Chains A and B, each alone.
Chain A
Amino acid sequence: MRLVTHNMMSSNIKGVANGFPLLIEAAQVVEKEVDFNADFLKNIFARIEWKALVEASKTMGYSELLDNVESSMLDSEEFLRKFHHALLEIHLEEGALVCPETGRKFPITKGIPNMLLHEDECTVFVLTGHDLYHSCGTPGVLKALSIAVY
C-alpha cells in the first residue's frame, strides 16, 4: 500500500465519526521506484490531505516533507520529487491500519489492505425514523425522500 491509498481511506465502521487518518503500524516498509509524472502530481495535489501525508510518511521513516505547503510550490521540481517519493514510492508491505477511534486493525498483507468490515461493524439494523435522521445527519430527510429515486 502506497501513501496515496492511505490518504484516501478512512475507517468506515458503524458509529465512527472521524475515522481519518488511519494510524499506521508498519512491520515491513519497502521502496519501489515509480516513473515520475508531474501532471499527475499537480492534478492530485488538491485532493491530498497534506497533514495526514506528512504524518504517515514520518511513520514510514521519511521526514523530508514540509509541514506547510501551498499550490505555488508545485512549480518546484525539488518539491514535486519529494511529494512523488512520499506519495507513490514508499510501500507498506506488511502491517496494519488502525482506526483512530475504535482501535480496530485493518491488516495489510502482501501490500494489500483488507478493508472489509465485520458483520457487526456495518449498519444492518431496521430503518426507523430515528436511524434515518441520524444516518442522514441533517433534518432534510423529507426533502431527500422526495428526490426522484433513480
Chain B
Amino acid sequence: MWYLCVFFHRLLEYRKTEFESLAGLFEGRDGAVTLEWRLPEDHHPDSPFHFVNLPSEELARNIANRSILVKGIYELWGEGRNFEELEEAIKSYPDDRKLPYLKPDTTFRITVETFGKAISFHEQNDRLQKLAFVPFKGRVNLRNPGHKFCLMDNDDYGSSNGLPPVVQRRIFFGREIGASDRKILQTYQLKSRKYLGPTAMDAEMAFLMANQAQVKPGKLVYDPFVGTGSILIAAAHFGAMTMGADIDIRVVRDGRGPDCNIWSNFKQYGLPMPLSLLRADNNLPPWRSGLKEVFDAIICDPPYGVRAGGRKSGGRKLLKGVIGPYTVPDDKRSNHIPSTAAYSLVECVHDLLDLAAKMLVMGGRLVYFYPVLREDDSAEPTFPEHPCFELTAKCEQILSYRYSRVLLTMVKVAPYTEDIELAARVKHLDFKENHLKWLEDGNLHSAVFSPSDVKINGSGEKCSSKPKYRGKYV
C-alpha cells in the first residue's frame, strides 16, 4: 500500500537511506533494501513530501517511530490543488478505510502543518473549519488522542524554503501511522553531556549512524575510534552491546575525572555500560588471530586529519626514518610511554576495512564517515572498495566550502579469505615502508586549510558556481 511519508527538511540525502535501512531492520533483511518511491505531482526531489510503497501498516509504524528524519507516515485520505479538490478526494476515499477512525467512542486530534511558512492560529482554525464535512464522531483530545490526523500544505507563499518555487499548491490530509520521536535528540544533545571531546559526534548524526547500522538489542557494536563514546551511546540507546577502543589512553581511561569520562556518559543516560573499553591501535589491533565474525556492526568516525589526526604505533621518529631501529632498555620498559606516528587516512581506512571484513558477521554492517574534497563538482568521488563488502548507501554532509563528509554504509557480503588477509598484510607493510609518501598523498589538512588564492589560480568562477544549497539536485 502507498503511504505519504513526510520528512524533516534536513540532511536530505540521509532521509531515504535511513528509511530503507530501517525497513531492512524490521523485515530482518541484511542487504540493501530498495523501496518504491513516488513524488507528489509537481514536487521537487528534495521536497519533504514523498509517497512510499510498504507491505504493511505495522512496518510503516515501526520505521516511523524508530527513525530520526521521518516527521510522519500517513495513510493519505485525500490530496488536491485546492480545498474543493481535497474535499472531493476525501469523500471518495473508501468508507471502510475511514469510518473505523471516526467512531463515537474514539478520541482524535487534527494538526495543521505548512511547509516553508508558519501560519497564525487564526489561519489554522480557518483551515480546520474547511474539514467540517468529515463526519468526526469522536471526542477531541489534544494531549493523548487515539487517532491523529494531519492537514498539510506546501503553498507558495512567495517566501523561500530552500527549494525552487512551488509550481502548484498541493494539500494533503491523512491519518498518522507513526512519527519520529525527536525528543531523544534533546535528551542526548551534546550541550548537556558531561564528557565531550573536540570531535564528539552530534546526537542526531549518531542516531542516524546507528539506524544505518541496523542496531538492535542483543547485537554487538564496535567503535575502533571511540573517543568520548558519542557513537556507542546511540547504539546502546537502541539496545546494543557496545565495545570501543582508542589509541589515546587519556580519553578512554581517565576522561576529566571520576565523574566525567566515558562511563559517566553512559551512566548519565541510564544506559548499560560498554562491554569493553580498551586502549589499542587500529593499525596493530590486539585481536587474537583465530577470532572472526564476532561484531554485528562497526560504526565509527575515523580521524581524517582535518580536525583531529590519526595516530598509530611504531614510533614517531622511527617511521619517519629520522632514527634507526632501537630497543627500549629493559630497565625502562615497565613505565615506557611509546611514541606514536601520524596515521594517514588512506591507511586508516585500509585497516578499518580489513578489520571489518574479518570481524563482522556475514550481513554485518560497517558504517563510517569518509571525507571528500569538493574541488571538482563534475567528478563523482570514488569511495573505498573491498571484495567482502557491498556499498549500500552514501550520504553527503557538506561541512565547509572545501570539503564534506560522506556517511558510507557497507554490508559484508563475502567471507574473509586467506587470500584477502594476505593481500592486506602486504599492503600493511607497504604503508610502513612508504610511511612519508602515504602521509603526503593522504594529506587532507592542507587541501582544506590552504589559502584560497593559491588554489583557485585565476579560476575564481568555478568556486562561485559551487552549489551553496545543501541539497544535491538544485
Contact = CB atoms under 8 A, between A and B. Distances in A.
A74 B67 CA distance: 34
B385 A40 contact: no
A117 B353 contact: no
A90 interface: no
A4 B313 contact: no
B414 interface: no
Contacts of A141: 422, 426
A136 to B, nearest CB: 5
B252 A112 contact: yes
Nearest to B217: A37
Given A8-B288, A19-B288, A2 B276 contact: yes
A35 interface: yes
A104 B327 CA distance: 14
Prevailing SS type, chain A contact patch = loop
B328 interface: yes
A20 interface: yes
Nearest to A107: B334
A132 B426 contact: yes
B328 A113 contact: no
B272 interface: yes
A135 B284 contact: no
A120 B418 CA distance: 27
B249 A9 contact: no
Contacts of B432: 123-124, 127
A10 B284 CA distance: 11
B307 to A, nearest CB: 23
* Of listed A2, A19, A124, A125, residue having the most chain B CB within 10 A: A124
Contact of B433 (A5, A10, A37, A127): A127
Interface string A22-59: 00000000001011010110011001010000000000
A132 B433 CA distance: 12
Given A88-B275, A123-B432, A144 B426 contact: yes
Contacts of A88: 275
B243 to A, nearest CB: 8
Interface stretch (B22-30, B131-139, B318-326): B318-326
Interface residues of A, number: 57
Contacts of B294: 8, 44, 47
A73 interface: no
Contact of A12 (B254, B284, B325): B284
B278 A113 contact: yes
A88 B242 CA distance: 12
Contacts of B75: none
A11 B286 CA distance: 6
Interface string B231-265: 00000000001010001010011100000000000
B389 to A, nearest CB: 10
B419 interface: yes
A40 B241 contact: yes
* Of listed B281, B313, B385, residue having the most chain A CB within 10 A: B313
Contacts of A125: 325
B327 A138 contact: no
A26 B315 CA distance: 30
A131 interface: yes
A136 B426 contact: yes
Contact of B385 (A20, A49, A113, A150): A150
B263 to A, nearest CB: 8
B186 interface: no
A2 B429 contact: no
A114 B288 contact: no
Contacts of A118: 328, 333, 336, 338
B419 A140 contact: yes
B280 interface: yes
Interface string A71-105: 00000000000000000100000000000000011
26 contacts: A4-B275, A5-B243, A8-B291, A9-B278, A9-B287, A37-B241, A40-B220, A44-B294, A49-B290, A111-B277, A112-B252, A112-B277, A116-B279, A116-B280, A118-B336, A119-B328, A124-B315, A124-B318, A124-B325, A132-B426, A132-B429, A136-B426, A140-B419, A143-B419, A147-B423, A150-B384
Given A9-B288, A150-B386, 18 more contacts: A8-B287, A32-B273, A35-B272, A43-B218, A47-B291, A88-B275, A109-B253, A112-B252, A113-B279, A115-B286, A118-B338, A122-B315, A123-B429, A124-B315, A135-B425, A143-B422, A147-B422, A150-B350
